[in-house]
Amino acid sequence: MSNNISPENEQFIQYELASGTFRSRDQLLDEAVRLLKRQRELQREIQAGIDSGPSIRASDVFRQLEEKAQQLSRRESS
């Protein structure tokens, strides 16, 4: 496998290896791929949220929940 990497990225890799953050180049690359996969997963989740329809403000949701709780409380008191 060929590794054509920019000098800036190679410098970063060498710094991370020298600092002891990673034991090997393979470990660093495995972590980089894991993080890239996680980023893609989060992007898909964000897009799914966007595609699911209009958002509702949290304050509106809490207000509605408080109103329902008060209604239930009144019914139980009656």
Rounded to two decimals, what is the model's pTM?
0.64
Is residue 78 within 8 A of residue 70, CB to CB? The reply is no
Query: What are 42-76's pLDDT values in tens digits?
Result: 999 999 999 999 888 999 999 999 999 999 998 88
Give the H or E element holding residue 32: helix 25-51
CB 22 within 8 Å of CB 16: yes
Task: Note the pLDDT tens digit of each residue in 9-23.
Answer: 999 999 999 999 999
